[in-house]
Amino acid sequence: MSLPIRVEYASQRKIRERNKLYYRFNHWPIWIFVFFIAPGPLTVDLFDRGFDWRMAIWLGGVLVGTGVAGLRGRLPGVEPKPYIIRFTEDRPNPPYRRICYTFAWSEAVAFAVLNIAGLVVAIASGHWYLKQIYRYAYFPIAATVWVLGALGRLPRVKPSTKGEGHERRYFYGTVWAVCWAQPALWVMWKVLPQTRTSDVFKLAVFLAILALVGNLARLGRLPRTRPIVPGELAVSD
């Protein structure tokens, strides 16, 4: 017997006329993180060798760029007031939202795909080539997602916000799945030996977390993953 998908009625959601200062400030670190890890090979070096001058320069640029965008209200969640209120309203999706969510999509997809590829290669060859895989494959995958975003083919990145009530659940479902699976894989990579047996275990756990969390999101059991039935006023984050 399949479990029912939980839905959320727009008319039951609390309406915010403006975003409070702490709410806006709390969203800023999210976008700092998104843009800081955008150069995937640099992020792999961060976890492998630690923080260095390259990352310091990049982090400084990200802080300045996102800080200016945040002060101008040009980051999702950092706007002075919510942009999306009616889920049935066919409003233009602002460029800053499309850019931010495109980068978030590219990282979620690229990191998950390349980590799976790295584990499969390690199991097949007996050696880890994750850094090399990221060096040569990260930007082609990320660029493909960027192109899809530019063409308006990704959830939350389409020219119109009309489908936000459903599109945001796909986005957050992906984010929850990857954000749970990635730290688990990193911990296993640190504490388990580099053997085929342990690599098979890592891959199985990584895929299991993606599948489990993805299914919970599909059922609307995780925050912001319930379909929002349109028709009344609502606020989207």
Taken in order 44, 47, 52, 57, the sign of the CA dihedral is: positive
Q: Dihedrals φ, ψ of 144, to 5°?
A: -60, -40
Please give the pLDDT value at position 232. Answer: 45
Q: How far is CA 84 from CA 91, 171, 175, in A?
A: 8, 16, 20
pTM over 0.75: yes
Please give the pLDDT value at position 19. Answer: 85
Q: Helix, strand or coil for residue 181?
A: helix
Determine contact, residues 209/178, Cβ cutoff 8 Å.
no
Q: Which two tokens stand for residue 173?
A: 């479902």
Determine contact, residues 155/111, Cβ cutoff 8 Å.
no
| CA torsion angle 175 180 181 185 (round to 10) | 140
Determine contact, residues 237/77, Cβ cutoff 8 Å.
yes
User: In the chain, which residues have pLDDT < 50?
Assistant: 1, 232-233
Please give the pLDDT value at position 32. Answer: 98
Per-residue pLDDT reduced to its tens digit, 184-221: 999 999 899 989 999 999 999 999 999 999 999 999 99
Residue with tokens 């955008």: 38
Q: What number of residues does the chain have?
A: 237
3-state helix, strand, coil in the chain (%, to 5): 65, 5, 35
Determine contact, residues 100/75, Cβ cutoff 8 Å.
yes
